[in-house]
Amino acid sequence: MSKKVTLSTLVVLNFIIYISLGLPDSILGSAWPSMRQSYAMGASQVSYLTTMMLLFSFLSSMLYTKIANYVTVAQVILMSMVCVIIGLILMVVTSNPIVLFLSTPFMGIGQGAIDVTVNHFAAKHLPSSLMSLLHGCYGVGVSLSAAILTFFLSSFASWQFAIGTIAILEILILLLIFAYRSHFAERDNTGSDGKEKSDSVSNQTFKLSHLINPIFYFFYALEAVMGIFLATYYVENFQVRSAQAAFYTTLFWLGLMVGRFVTGALTRFMADKTIIYSHLGLLLLTSLTLFLPPGFYTMATVFLIGLAMAPLYPLMMMLPNQMYPEPIAKKVISYNVGFCLLGILVFPLLFGILFKIMSFSIFPSLILVMTGMLSGLVLWIFKQI
C-alpha cells in the first residue's frame, strides 16, 4: 500500500513539475509584441533573448551529470525553480533592457537543469506508458501561460500582470515540491556506471551515420520557432492586434498539448510509423495556410499545426532503441537532446537576422522549408529500420 501511495504521489508531482516546465516557455512568443514596446526594442530582438536563454539552458544541461553527483534530485529541482522565479521577477520590475537581458541566465540555467533532472527521474521511476502524458502536461503548462498572457493583454493590456501571475504559480509549485522533497531525496548518479557497462559501451563503434536521428531533432526546432515568432509574424505582417496574435500562439500550444494526449491513445491502435507519416502530411498542408491573411479559419489552422507536430518528438525519440544496440541507442538519444537544444539556439537567432533584413513576410516560407527537411529526414530514418 505504501509503495502504491508513493508511486501515485510521484506521478502527480511529476505531472505538476512538467506543467511548471511549460509555464515560462510561451512568454516571449506570446508577449513580445507588447513587451518590446515597453522596452523600446525591435521585433527581431526577441531572437537575442531566446538565444541567450538557450545557451545557458544548454550549458546547465551539459553540466547536470557533474552536479548530480553532489546534490539530490530535490535540490536540483528546487534551485532550478528558484532561478526561473528570479528570472520572471526581473522581467517585470523595470523597463530597462539591460535588466531584461540579465533575466536570461536565470531563466536558462533553471530551465535546462530541471528539464534534464525530471526526465531522468521520470524514466527511472515511472512506467513508460506515462511518459507521453508527462509531455502532455508540459503542453498544459505552455498553453496555460499563453492563455494567461492572452487574458491579461486583452483585459488589462498588461503583460507585466501576466508574467507576475505565472511567477506566483511557479512559487506555489515550488512550495509544493519543497513540502514533498523527501520523494526526490536521492541523487541521480546515472552518469556513473559499472565497469561491465563501460566495457560494453567501449566495444560499440559510433558512426557518423548514427547522427541522422539527432539531425532530425536539430530541425525539430521548428516547434520553438513557431512558438517564438508566430504572434509577431501576424502583428508585423498583417497588423493583427497583440492580444489576438497571442491567442493564435495559445491555440498553437493548445494543439500541441492535445496532440500529445491523443498520441498516447493512438499508439494503442496504430503503428508509430503511420502516426508520424499522417501527422507530417497534416503539417505540410497546414504550413501552407500561413501564407494566407488571417481570418476565421486561422484559429483552426494554427491549432492543427500544433496538433500535427505533437507526436514527432516523443515517437521519434523511441526509434534509436529499435535501430541500434543499447549502448549506441543511449548515445544517440543523448545527442538527440543536445541537437534539439542546438537547433532551438541557432534557428531563432538565424531567423531573427533574416527577418530584420527581409521582413517577417518570409516566415511561412521558412516554416515550409523546415517541414520539408523534417519529412525528408523521417523517410530516410525509416528506410534504415
123-149 per-position pLDDT tens digit: 566 655 566 677 778 878 887 888 898
CB 378 within 8 A of CB 276: yes
Among 62-71, 142-151, 238-247, which range has the highest average pLDDT? 238-247
DSSP calls for 199-259: HHHHTSPP-GGGGHHHHHHHHTTHHHHHHHHHHHHHHHHH---HHHHHHHHHHHHHHHHHH
pLDDT in tens, 32-60: 888 888 888 887 788 788 888 888 887 87
pTM of the predicted model, to two decimals? Answer: 0.70
pLDDT surpasses 80 at 337: no
Range name among 27-31, 76-80, 87-91, 361-365 with the lowest pLDDT average: 27-31
Q: Give pLDDT, residue 64.
A: 66
Dist. CA 112–CA 165, nearest whole Å = 22
Q: Return phi, psi of residue 307, to 5°.
A: -60, -40
Q: Residue 125: what pLDDT?
A: 67
Instruction: State the sign of the Cα–Cα–Cα–Cα dihedral 138, 34, 148, 150.
Output: negative
Q: Is residue 203 predicted with pLDDT exceeding 50?
A: no
What mean pLDDT value characterizes the chain?
83
51-112-136 Cα angle (round to 5):
105
- Domain spans in the chain, listed from the N-terminal domain onward: 9-187+211-383
Q: How much is the pLDDT for 48?
A: 83
- pLDDT tens digit sequence for 72-127: 888 888 999 999 999 999 998 888 889 999 999 999 888 877 776 776 676 566 65
Q: Can you read off the three cell numbers belonging to residue 384?
A: 534504415
Protein fold of 9-187+211-383: Growth Hormone; Chain: A; (1.20.1250)
Residue 67 has pLDDT above 90, yes or no: no
Is 352 in contact with 48 (CB distance < 8 Å)?
A: yes
248-289 pLDDT, tens per residue?
988 998 898 888 888 877 877 888 889 999 999 999 999 999
